[in-house]
Structure 1
Amino acid sequence: MPGVPDREKKSENCQSCFKMLNGTVPYATFNDGTYSHYYCAQCFDGIGFTESNLSLNTAFSRFIAGKRLSWLARMKYARVFQNLRRWKMGDY
């Protein structure tokens, strides 16, 4: 896929906001020009997170806002969010 960095394991979704990483939502880059393996350019600016005080609950609320999801789907996504690298590893 053009514009996607080569690496051993590609994250298909941002490990902070869960947006799908593609041409519309690009991978973040570090100051040296290398790609972030895990985060989109909207969440990570090469130095740190663009919203350093963002909480898991706020990120999850933004993700589900406007989506018509069943209770079961909300529970599934809540579990997904808890296991995203930013929240699981304490990278915030």
Structure 2
Amino acid sequence: MLSLPSTLTHDQAQACLQQLQASLAQLPAGAAVQIDASGLAVFDSSALAVLLGCRRAAMAAGRPLQMRGLSAPVLSLARLYGVDGLLQTAG
């Protein structure tokens, strides 16, 4: 399972996305990608960009993706931007 940091704002977004994409690429072929967002405490809309970037990378690799631990504030921001339907959640 890949995890988001506790702080994910514009300043951390690019490095975080690159790290997650590199980790995703190292998963065994066909393995599902699970992203744990339960530790995410400080964020802005850049966190959504990171999550959507991971979604694109997983789709391009033909891997299923599940997001875990998305807090109510993150989901609320995703609804505000109209991308909540793109973030598949589990648990």
Structure showing greater radius of gyration is: 1
Structure number with greater CO (CA < 8 Å, separation at least 6) is 2
Please state which structure has a larger fraction of its residues in strand: 2
Please state which structure has a larger fraction of its residues in helix: 2
Regarding TM over 0.5, the answer is no
Normalising to structure 1: TM-score of the pair?
0.28
Normalising to structure 2: TM-score of the pair?
0.28
